[in-house]
Structure 1
Amino acid sequence: MSTPNASHRDSLTQHFIDQGKQVLTIERAAIDGLFSAINQDFARACELMLQCKGRVVVTGMGKSGHIGGKIAATLASTGTPAFFVHPGEASHGDLGMITGKDVVIAISNSGETHEVLAILPVIKRLGVPLIALTGKPDSTLATLADVHICVAVAEEACPLGLAPTASTTATLVMGDALAVALLHARGFTADDFALSHPGGSLGKRLLLRVSDIMHTGERIPKVNADAIITEALLEISRKGLGMTTIVDANDTLLGLFTDGDLRRILDQRIDIHQTPISKTMTTQCITAHPEMLAAEALKLMETRKVNGLIVIDKNKRVVGAFNMHDLLRAGVV
């Protein structure tokens, strides 16, 4: 039998789960309702930002301001120069940050936010195109805008109908839609993205190339084709990559021998003190090239289920080697 306290806890747990699902249901409906707003006005807003010679300036008050900051950040990181200006601060000097070459996105669910409306005369006087995101197509802000995108929602997820919830979600999603549409129009690439994200693991995954992490020169494990297996094992131990290349006099790759190959030949009772490595090496080698992105190399290793790669140049000469530990140290994994 459940105790009263346990029963109360079970009831409270179910309440939390039900309310969480209810919020998701309402906000999902809000997003579904945006499809009708992806229309000619949406396309015109994208055109204005694509043609912008300056920057996209996003403004909004309160929760709309927080969403505006995120939209500005997303635009900036996907190829559309943008920044956020607080409308309250704009009235006290920050309007000087806006130039005639810019485009302004103003966000207000009601379309009547005083601080936003107060800066519109200056924006209009500068001749700056104004894009408004509101939930009220007949509002002052929507009427004065050059382009209005409706982000109206049927209801807020807040049961009191007071805290912006579904409305801010809808606005954020619309901002993402604008940013991604512009990304495609600009032909923005992963390399472009990496230039504005050089820090952390994201930048490393996008910017690092195999040449940045591979072992070179004397650190490359290699033996000639006449070496016996024990000599190859000593080279594997010395270089610490779990493998060795087999090369000719010009360092052209002939084959590869790994720790895994050793386990297989031991099962076959091959004499490792007498047998040349050329008799047991793998000739169909999986290789990388120096300019390959480290992230591409990682995907190749995961797909082919190998722990290391040999790096060759266009003439099939061995120029480097690396393993999963090198990728881990570089922050690629």
Structure 2
Amino acid sequence: MAESTIDTMLARARGVVRTEARAVSMLLDQLNADFVRVARLLFECPGHILTAGAGTSCAMAQRFAHLLACCGTPALFISAANSIHGGAGAISDKDIVYIISKGGQSAEINAFARIAKDRGAKVVAHTEKPDSPLGRLSDAVICVTAPESADPYGMIATGSSLMNGAACDVLCVLLLELRGYTKEQFGHTHPGGAVGVRIETEKRGR
């Protein structure tokens, strides 16, 4: 490959990182009291936090459920698509269903949200469109708006998914601190891998 081509591609690669970093930093100005209210709502949930999404939001919902569990909040990912084929029977009136959906328009997502509401669960919408069908039927809304420049064609969720991931990270850390969840408690549920080895090594060194 010609040196000029390598330089051009590296310059483009660095531009992608700068664009995505700017997008994530824009979340700072979008943090508001809604994040605190939702954190407290999740903290007070007597059941599980069930996360859901479609497309790239599905991947972000899976990530969020895992990190919530790591931070001491009982959480599981639930497939909205499978749930409208019977899986929604897992939802109870003690649960909160947290749905990530950029536009809040997906038919299967909204059908799933209505079933969750009918079963007595609370619904939180994480969306760019609070006035969308999903936003209107939810009990609480987190609004995260990404600039179109964050994503190729303003459609492929690269930078915007990082913004949504950062918003979920905010909630995870707030919940960890609300619970007073300790490293020792985390170590009990994460004894495996390099993290587990590090925690065990630290315990032996005391």
Q: Normalising to structure 2: TM-score of the pair?
A: 0.93
Maintained 8 Å contact 1:26/1:155: no
Distance 1:127 1:137 in 2: 21
Aligned partner letter, 2:106: T
Aligned residues: 206
Distance 1:36 1:126 in 2: 35
Q: Which has the higher helix share?
A: 2
Report whether the alignment pairs 1:30 with 2:23. Answer: yes
- 1:17 is matched with 10
SS in 2 for 1:131: strand
- 2:156 is matched with 163
- 2:44 is matched with 51
Distance 1:131 1:84 in 2: 14
- 2:78 is matched with 85
SS in 1 for 2:184: helix
Report whether the alignment pairs 1:70 with 2:63. Answer: yes
SS in 2 for 1:119: helix
CA deviations 1:264-292 (Å, max 9, x no partner) are: xxxxxxxxxxxxxxxxxxxxxxxxxxxxx
Question: How far is the alpha carbon of 1:80 from its aligned partner?
Answer: 0.4
- 1:147 is matched with 140
Maintained 8 Å contact 2:114/2:137: no
Question: How far is the alpha carbon of 1:207 from its aligned partner?
Answer: 3.2
- 1:286 is matched with none
Residue in structure 2 matching 1:108, options 101, 105, 110? 101
Q: Percent identity?
A: 34
Q: Normalising to structure 1: TM-score of the pair?
A: 0.59
Structure 1: where are the runs of 5+ without partners?
Answer: 1-7, 210-292, 298-333
Structure 2: where are the runs of 5+ without partners?
Answer: none
Q: Which runs of 4+ in 1 moved over 3 A?
A: 156-159
SS in 2 for 1:57: strand
Maintained 8 Å contact 2:73/2:175: yes
Select the structure with the greater relative contact order (CA < 8 A; seq sep ≥ 6).
2
Aligned partner letter, 1:94: G
* CA RMSD, 1 decimal: 1.6
Maintained 8 Å contact 2:125/2:141: yes
CA deviations 1:20-45 (Å, max 9, x no partner) are: 12212221222122123321111111
Report whether the alignment pairs 1:179 with 2:151. Answer: no
